[in-house]
Amino acid sequence: MCAPNYALYFYRKWCISIAQEEYINANSTQTVGKALVVNIRTHSDPGYNRKGSDKDFDDMTDVLKLFGFEVLAKEDLKKDELENDLKELAQNKNNEGYQSCLVVIMSHGDEGNILTSDVQKLPRDSVMKDFIDEESSWTGKPKLFFFAQCHGDTHDKGQKVRERPDSEY
């Protein structure tokens, strides 16, 4: 059983308990960090729509909040909107109180590019460029980038998952 003073998160019948004290200094006014989570589910060309990605998006935002991140959750951004949000996060001077930055982008893509909701390609390298710029408020702080997307034409057919009896957990 998880103790009540621990953060609880139930995911696929697993109970992960994390002592908040291990991740956030109780005497500090800083949060663990700021996270931008982007889910590009709906595209202007319906053939690219990503049904079912809402669960991944919700789970990701929940987990990051659990770990003490302030989460900015965005959906279905066009190329210019995504570029603007990334630039704002990278250069916002109000980031002084945060210890780290985490960016998660979930969409379609190809080798080196992210497909935005207006079916435009945004190079993955351009996502990070503003964060390593001298103007970035994240200089000297950890910056993590996660891209959940295709990297070519190979299709993932998925896996059959068998349900385990509760006694195996």
Helix (H, G, I), strand (E, B) or coil at 79: helix
Structure-token pair, residue 58 = 């919700």
Active site residues: 108, 150
**Cβ within 8 Å of residue 162, ≥6 positions away:** none
**Cβ within 8 Å of residue 132, ≥6 positions away:** 143
Looking at residue 144, its pLDDT comes to 95
Looking at residue 70, its pLDDT comes to 95
Looking at residue 30, its pLDDT comes to 55
Q: Where are the alpha helices (DSSP H) in the chain?
A: 20-23, 53-66, 79-91, 124-129
Q: CB of 39 within 8 A of CB of 57?
A: yes
Look at the chain and count its residues.
169
Looking at residue 32, its pLDDT comes to 87
CA neighbor of 48 nearest in space, from 99, 110, 96, 95: 110
**Buried residues in 34-65 as b, exposed as e (16+ CB within 10 A):** bbbbbbbbebeeeeeebeebeebbeebbebbe
Structure-token pair, residue 51 = 């049904």
| Per-residue model confidence as pLDDT tens for the chain (169 residues) | 444 434 444 433 333 444 444 444 444 555 789 999 999 998 888 887 888 788 899 999 999 999 889 999 999 999 999 999 999 999 988 888 899 999 999 998 888 899 999 999 999 999 999 898 887 889 889 999 999 887 666 666 666 666 666 655 4
Looking at residue 9, its pLDDT comes to 42
Looking at residue 153, its pLDDT comes to 62
